[in-house]
A and B are shown apart, each in its own frame.
Chain A
Amino acid sequence: MKTSDNRDQALQLANVSRRSFLKGIAASGALVLAVSWDPATAESEPRKYGADYMAHGWVDNPNIFIRVARDGQVTIINHRGEMGQGIRTSLVMVMADEMGADWQQVHVEQAIANEEKYGNQDTDGSRSMRHWFEPLRRAGAAARTMLEQAAANQWQVPVSECRTDVHAVVHTPSQRTLSFGSLAAAAAELPVPARQSLTLKTPDQWRYIMRTSNQPLAIDGMDINQGKALYAADMRVDNMLYAVIARPPSYGSRVKNVDASKALAIAGVVKVLELPSVTQPSGFEPLGGVAVLAEHTWAAIQGRNALRIEWDDSPAGDNAHYDSEAFRASLESKATQPGKPVRQVGDFSQAQRDSAQHLTATYYAPHLAQAPMEPMAALVSIQGDHAEVWSSVQNPQATRDGVAKRLGLKASNVTVNCALMGGAFGRKAKPDFVFEAADLSKAMGGRPVRVQWTREDDLHHSFYHTVALQHMEGTLDHNGQVSGWLHRILAPSISSQFAPDSGHLSDRELTQGIRNMPFDIPAIQQETGEALGHVRIGWFRSVYNIPHAFAIQSFVAELANAAGQDHKAFLLELLGPDRQIDPRTQGENWNYSEDPSRYPIDIKRYKNVIERVTQEADWGKTMPPNRGLGLAVHHSFVSYCAIVMDVEVTPTGDVIVHQADIAFDCGPQINPDRVRAQMEGACVMGIGIALMTEITAKNGRVQQDNFHQYLIPRINQVPRTIRVHAVNSDLDVPLGGAGEPGLPPVAPALCNAIFAASGKRIRSLPVADQLKS
């Protein structure tokens, strides 16, 4: 095991095949691979957008997704990852509704990894419903058409006289009916109707889609509530070993010596294996370390505790000395120097010379760990030239391809079973934990091995949300209007995970709120400064939108205050006249993969969510002492979200969040209750980011071990009232994302409210005890 060379595998992972390349881009952030790829020039074929753009695109063949049994049971395949967003309910609901199935007779079956069969399965970027609503409506409609044709054939009547009622086809003139079950065999013999011949249901015919109360449909609800739902750690097979791994404390360090004698003396411990370390950039490669394999989890944990390991930090280089506080100071000193230009409009220096006021502010946002409640777990078993995987991953196909590559198997000989994810938030888009299980099973001659991460493992070895320092300057003219805007960001790039670190954010990362910033300002200067990564950096729900929105939306409030104007009025003024901006005119060629002509930046939609949320929150009302309202708006994942927070700052410096109002425009809400749930959840997570959640490092070690140090909100720390207001939820605009866009505006809205309540401006997250004393 020690001799196997994983460096080659790391390189292979990072190298560009056309397909893995696209998958990389797909993962909601940006790989450096993406930077070098200018879609306008790199390919002669026409640029593809949306689901067409994704690896393996989309599939709408009903035979792939829908089965009808003779007893009438309808089985619908869900091929996207379920991590709490409710996609197993929502996509199945779309197909069931279009085909006319009765929900009580619908079963869901989770697809294994197989993008060639199912189309893209990479579940991130808030795109499952956005990309799959139309194809899966067609799949449902095609199934309905085939059932109607089978009934018409049996009755020997024109199919035009047949219609589908609930789970049955009706011959309208005679009112005869045939159940779905009785038609199943005949319908299965029929050809799939041509796509263009399908008649989709009209919205008034829908029974499940876009209904405001879909709670009873929750497909896994009772299984969850009864403890029957299955996650990766619940998977077991005969003869399975349980593994827990001691990983190198710094990114890149390796085992120098290990004394396993005490570990091997623990009852139940079977074997101790040393794993190869990584070289950077390491992509999704496991970090290496020492694995303890045992007959049960507790023995493996005990065994790991008993290991005596001496680490060699020299391969980690600077990472072994990473000190997040010192790093912050170094970024602060660099932030005052000019950076690398990103976008320039007008002349900021001139605006500064002509200004009545010139404001400068520096904002800091720390590392975060996704910390899904389910720590990572994966089970791999190898038999001959076939491997079987059971895990909870956001990207099943990358997992399958990666396992196949490292085991030297054909991808078609690797089966990846997808259990529910107990939360993911971007962490489970990186299958390093599955690769660990594959390596260990291989080392054990194919014996099944299930790797279990502990919470300490999760917090110490995350793919962390970036740390970001942002230097902002703004100028106001003599009318109190913003005449100039400078935004300089220094933040490690996710690209550093996949290619030599350029030290600058990639284009894709800058499109998450900076390049596509819509403000109507005469002079805009956006720059990046150098910031190297010292830990693994990865996607975290809404990714770079978090720091970008924090700086931009806080600074707008600061400028409004300096101008002596109401924040809401000032923000609307800054957005300028109603218009649709083609993001390409701002050098923004990503647009979350969507066609900029279908998904322009729409100022009217920005204003709609601002108007709605301020109306609902009664913006401008007189507030009790020490209490204030704060506003923020952000556009991400082609959706629009504005939030007003009602916050109290007590004389002792405690922050009480009384209420959150959220106005959200993601276009049509296919499953409105789950959209609302995503907004509520994003609000809670965002309150944590604003007030308490932070990863720090010292001497190359992450300092937070568990939830007593890595603080996330508890029930007594979030508002009892979180109100979600749907805006523009009709079918007149294309679908936007829902899982991520609720998060970015939370922290700036909350910090703006703190300012309104206390006069104290928060420029560094989290608030923690900054308001004390």
Chain B
Amino acid sequence: MISVTINGQPQELEVSPETPILWVLRDFLALTGTRFGCGMGLCGACTVHLDGTAIRSCVTPISVAAGKNITSIESIENDSVGQRVQQAWMDEAVAQCGYCQGGQIMSAVSLLTTTPQPTDEQIDNAMSGNLCRCGTYPRIRKAIHRAAGTESLSTHTNGSQVQANDTLFREVKV
């Protein structure tokens, strides 16, 4: 029996202790907003918060969470930063297929909680563990800036995304 608090609800779980948090949430508790993408902590689709810190639930055994708080995408709207991020995601129409976006949002909330006004470099560092095959990254970046209230350099004109100047460019190593 493992005792954890999930989205504010105390739970007594009868699962083997090495079961990844991902499968406990999905298969035992029917909290399906946390997604399976890789099973190796490489894509971030499974991101949840453990005592407020973003973790990859597909590689984190439930035993690690004993006595702790797990927050998943289903309850992040109860967090003021979470609500702001979700709204920014709507305003920028970030999602395409949407499969990765729960994980993206959980990572973004974690970033903005510790770093309320992140730079682009800080966004890169915090978000580079979350893959999006649809390629919504430019909008994810804008949505984070919007949620942080630092979106002033971005505008929409004539169906094009126009950004103010070259200083936004940064070094990217491939």
Contacts and interface: CB of A to CB of B under 8 A. Distances in A.
A616 B161 CA distance: 12
A423 B133 contact: yes
Nearest to B43: A707
A225 B159 contact: no
Nearest to B123: A715
Given A227-B33, A298-B23, A716 B128 contact: yes
A225 B131 contact: no
A715 B30 CA distance: 30
Nearest to B32: A234
Contacts of A532: none
A456 B58 CA distance: 14
A677 B131 contact: no
A224 B99 CA distance: 8
A416 interface: no
Nearest to A675: B159
Interface residues of B, number: 74
Nearest to B19: A298
Interface string B85-105: 010011111011111111001
Contacts, number: 235
A725 B169 contact: no
Interface in B34-64: 34-40, 42-43, 45
A86 B96 CA distance: 7
B139 interface: yes
A227 B102 contact: yes
A721 B38 contact: no
A267 B174 contact: no
Nearest to B127: A715
A724 B136 contact: no
Interface string B127-169: 1111111111111110000000000000010111111000011
Contacts of B100: 373, 422
A425 B141 CA distance: 24
Given A225-B101, A681-B134, A301 B39 contact: yes
Contacts of B134: 84, 373, 423, 681, 684
Contacts of A85: 96
Nearest to B159: A726
A463 interface: no
Nearest to A767: B174
B83 to A, nearest CB: 10
B159 A655 contact: no
A706 B42 contact: yes
Contacts of A86: 96
A552 B162 CA distance: 30
Contact of B133 (A214, A371, A672): A371
Interface string B13-25: 0001001100100
Contact of B42 (A685, A707, A715): A707
A19 B142 CA distance: 46
Interface stretch (A215-223, A406-414, A694-702): A215-223
Contacts of B169: 658-659, 719-721
Nearest to A377: B36
Contacts of A106: none
B135 A212 contact: no
A616 B43 CA distance: 34
Contact of B90 (A222, A673, A676): A222
Contacts of A480: none
Contacts of A224: 95, 98, 101-102
Q: Which of B93, B139, B141, B158 has the most CB of A within 10 A?
A: B93
A654 B38 CA distance: 27
Given A218-B95, A680-B135, A714-B131, A654 B39 contact: no
A476 interface: no
B38 A226 contact: no
Contacts of A712: 131, 133
A233 B90 contact: no
Q: Which of B34, B129, B131 has the most CB of A within 10 A?
A: B131
A423 B96 CA distance: 8
Contacts of B124: 715-716
Nearest to A452: B36
Nearest to A725: B160
A84 B23 contact: no
A657 interface: yes
Given A373-B45, A658-B169, A425 B133 contact: yes
A67 interface: no
Given A215-B93, A298-B20, A716 B172 contact: yes
A681 B136 contact: yes
A492 B26 CA distance: 40
Interface in A602-661: 616, 654-659
Nearest to A227: B33
A215 B99 contact: no
B73 interface: yes
Nearest to B136: A681
Q: Which of B26, B37, B102 has the most CB of A within 10 A?
A: B37
Given A707-B43, A715-B137, A720-B163, A422 B97 contact: yes
A267 B123 CA distance: 42
A371 B45 CA distance: 14
A420 B97 contact: yes
A225 B86 contact: yes
A296 B14 CA distance: 13
B128 A714 contact: yes
Given A422-B99, A706-B40, A684 B137 contact: yes
Given A218-B90, A296-B23, A715-B140, A227 B96 contact: no
Contacts of B35: 231, 233, 373-374, 422
A723 B135 contact: no
A213 B138 CA distance: 17
Nearest to A660: B138
A147 interface: no
Closest 4 CB pairs of A and B: A227-B33, A684-B135, A422-B99, A84-B97
Given A225-B105, A680-B139, 17 more contacts: A215-B90, A218-B93, A227-B74, A229-B98, A236-B30, A298-B19, A298-B20, A375-B36, A375-B37, A423-B99, A452-B36, A455-B37, A654-B173, A681-B135, A683-B135, A714-B128, A715-B140
7 contacts: A220-B95, A456-B39, A616-B160, A656-B172, A723-B160, A724-B159, A725-B159
